Structure 1
Amino acid sequence: MSIPVIFIHRAVEGHLGLCMQQAKASNPKSRVILIGTRENRKHTPDGTEHHLIDDYSQSARGFASYYRHLSPNDFAYNLFCFQRWFLLRDFMKANQLQKILYLDSDVLLYCDINKPDYERLALEFSWTTVCNRSTLDHYCAYLTAHFREPQMLHKLLDYCRVIGNVPLSDMVTCIHFRNYYLRMDSTYGVIGDSFFDHNLSCPLAPPCEQIELLDGKKKIYWKDGALLGKFSEKNGFLKVNTLHFQGAAKHYIPAFLTGNLPSRDELHYFDYATCQWLLANLKD
């Protein structure tokens, strides 16, 4: 059975429905689920599901009593970034789901998510993660303990300083939990000959062989039914599994939907300046 794809989102934004539509197009046998609000129900495409945040928020509300706001981000936004993991865990319990793919509302999915290798991505990216219920149980317990116990919170803040004086966010706790509790090596999103995108507007992480950039974003190619990144220092391509259109890059989401990709199989690339797919040549 195909694992479900789950989004959790409170706002009413058009790109949410597009990303759900793409998840269904790339994994037609999977349940594609939004845990959202009454207001954003209208953005759920045909063949997908909508469930209410309020129906799964008991333990998330409990976590709020321990939460300490240690970020320049908005209080409610940052709190909800942590609470969503409790919502997700409780939804999985209520619906007897053992494993899911979680995606943020600005991530487009292109691969079959049922490959066992993709479990290596567990909680490495907070916006794109395959995780099982047992892992989420442990992660939610970890979050509660680290905000409830002053000594554990201080250790977490020390970790924030070590990695570059970053604010405390669920992106930090995901990596800390993965490194020190799951003890999993980093993939940096690259698994085999493919990659899960960190951010369209950033290169791959420094340990990885780099792919070409264009206008400060990853240069994305299309050929023979697949999206690709082209290595910059050697021949060959990495297949695209996801693209993360963070911030202003959301503008490009419609152009990257499967239905809007080139109809011809020749090598194309996406030109950000004109927002078009153009035929590539050997010099591109």
Structure 2
Amino acid sequence: MELIQHPHWLGDKNVDFDYLYLPLALKSATLSNPSLNVVYINANDSKLNIKGVTELPLAEVNDDLDKLSDYYLHLSPNQYLFELHSIQRHFVLRNAMRRLSIKSTFISEGDVLLLRPFQSVLGSEFSKDIDALLTDKNCVSTGWVTLDYVEFYCDLVLKIYSTESLKQGIAKIYQDMQDKNQQGGICDMTFCHFINIEAYGFKNKLRVGDICAPFHEHGQKLIFDNFLPRLDIGGLKLKAGLCNYRKQMIKQLTIDNGTVLAETTDGELVEMASLHFQGQSKRLISYYFSNALC
């Protein structure tokens, strides 16, 4: 089975950070998931040449990217290209799955360290009855998707952006957020949410699970993918990351013999099966790679 690494356009935010964490994220995938075929969709001119990773040039799987660019309306405080690429990567994922003739695949982002095998979560609970396993059911960052899910996502996005009344609808959502001084905007996760609630009459039979739901392995409670955006002053612990497990907050992370443990706000210790580094936290990815995977 495949693990597809989303395309990562170098320099969308900070090119120095890109070269720091992207190779380590890919290497972590090969170390923690040796039974999976790791495919990296390379959106850049230079190759990474990481052992165990197959690089698929973006030029071979770029169908509909120009069409989306033509219709796209930027409704976010984030940088234009960053947000556009975040949505385009779903089209690239769809095209890659078509090209590789695969019906389902694990997925991961370039700022995620995978510490445990993905297949741990594909037991009886997450079987053929699920069409996608996403972060908090709304983010295609770390998880598992079927081609049916990604096809529906891309069709929905193009329909919304190419239909003036629907485009005005998402523009109004963004304006309402600004009027209420709310953070965020229209992003790739917005359309995942639209699928979940069948917004704008987009009926579907897709069933989406939460990759962050805790699971047990050999008596230990583990959890995948939680956003970890802030650094502690000491530089080695993370705090105030969103923990989707009962909507708690992660107070700090500790490493015990290569195992990364998250202490939640109710004092529970949960093993992290992956770490999703955001913002300034990307500076710590090499520390956790060295101490948890080497």
TM-score range, shorter chain: 0.7 to 0.9
Counterpart AA for 2:25: C
Q: In the alignment, is residue 203 of structure 1 matched against residue 208 of structure 2?
A: no
Amino acid at match of 1:191: P
1:272 maps to which residue?
A: none
State the 1:16 CA deviation.
0.8
What SS does the aligned partner of 1:220 have? strand
CA contact (8 A) 1:10 1:40 kept: no
Q: 1:62 is paired with a residue of what secondary structure?
A: helix
**3-state SS of paired residue (2:133):** helix
Verify: 1:111 aligned to 2:124, yes or no: no
Q: Secondary structure at the match of 1:244?
A: strand
Q: Match for 1:198: what amino acid?
A: N
Q: Is the contact between residue 188 and residue 205 of structure 1 (CA under 8 Å) also seen in structure 2?
A: no
Name the counterpart of 1:227.
Answer: 260
More strand by share: 2
2:86·2:188 contact (CA, 8 Å) conserved in 1?
Answer: yes
Unaligned runs of 5+ in 1: 214-218, 264-284
**In the alignment, is residue 76 of structure 1 matched against residue 81 of structure 2?**
yes
CA contact (8 A) 1:198 1:204 kept: yes
Instruction: After TM superposition, give the deviation of residue 158 of structure 1 in Å.
Output: 4.8
Flag the 1:198–1:179 CA change in 2: closer, same or farther, 3 A. farther
Q: Does 1:133 align with 2:147?
A: yes
- Judge conservation of contact 1:124–1:186 (CA < 8 Å) in 2: no
Give, in angstroms, the shift of residue 10 of structure 1: 2.1
Tell me how many residue pairs correspond in the alignment: 254
Give the residue type in structure 1 aligned to 2:9: R
Q: Which of residues 196, 214, 217 in structure 2 aligns to 1:191?
A: 214
Higher relative contact order (CA 8 A, sep 6+): 2
- Report what 1:260 is aligned to: 291
CA deviation map 1:79-113 (0-9, x unaligned): 21111111110010011111122222111112221
- Equivalent pairs: percent with the same residue? 20
For 1:83-102, list aligned pairs within 5 A. Answer: 83-102=88-107
Three-state SS of the structure 1 residue aligned to 2:283 is: helix
Q: Relative to 1, partners in 2 of residues 1:26 and 1:207: Cα closer, same or farther, differing over 3 Å? A: closer
Q: CA RMSD in A?
A: 2.9
Greater Cα offset, 58-67 or 113-122:
113-122
- SS of equivalent to 2:74: coil
* Paired residues for 1:45-84 under 5 Å: 45-84=50-89
Deviation at 1:195, TM superposition (A): 2.3
Alignment-mate amino acid for residue 111 of structure 2: D
Bigger shift: residues 170-179 or 50-59? 170-179
Q: Any residues of structure 2 matched to 1:22-41 within 5 Å, and which?
A: 22-41=28-47
Aligned to 1:17: 23
Distance 1:211 1:251, change over 3 A: same
Cα distance between partner residues in 2 of 1:155 and 1:145:
12
Letter in 2 for 1:197: D
Distance 1:61 1:190 in 2: 36
The equivalent residue for 1:120 is 133
Q: Encode CA deviations 1:217-264: one digit per residue, 9 max, x unaligned.
A: xx1123365322124325x4222121111111111111111x53399x
Q: Which residue of 2 aligns with 1:270?
A: none
Residues 144/74 of structure 1: CA separation in 2 closer, same or farther (3 Å cut): same
Structure 2: segments with no counterpart, 5+ residues: 11-17, 127-131, 199-203, 216-220, 231-239
Aligned twin of 1:216 = none
**Alpha-carbon distance change, 132 to 186 in structure 1, aligned in 2, over 3 angstroms:** closer
Alignment of 1:158-173 (within 5 A): 158-160=172-174, 161=176, 164=182, 166-173=184-191
